[in-house]
Structure 1
């Protein structure tokens, strides 16, 4: 291998390393976005459950008050 071949080989390795780092960054960003979406979905589900529980509690209290009156 002469000097120019070594230089080309080094450049190719640097390009490959850069491409792999870019793929890793893209994957990290994708994973971060996926986790954010998952967390947001779970949070929305919890909010719906909270509202449902509040309604059930209100119904229970109303039923108890109705029983007390009658």
Structure 2
């Protein structure tokens, strides 16, 4: 049974390197698809907000990875 857990973990790590990054992106995309159009009536805003949110998540994830490796 441990080989099955090991195989599943290896398969998961092939696609997901940083779990926080993946969850944050999926959450932001869900918010942008489900909530932003109902909050803002203008259909031109969801795409730029999606881009800005993804860019911020990428910057924060890069900053966290650099701090984990001991580089300020």
TM over 0.5: no
TM-score, structure 1 normalization: 0.39
TM-score, structure 2 normalization: 0.38
Structure whose alpha-carbon radius of gyration is higher: 1
| Greater relative contact order, per chain length (Cα 8 Å cut-off, separation 6+) | 2
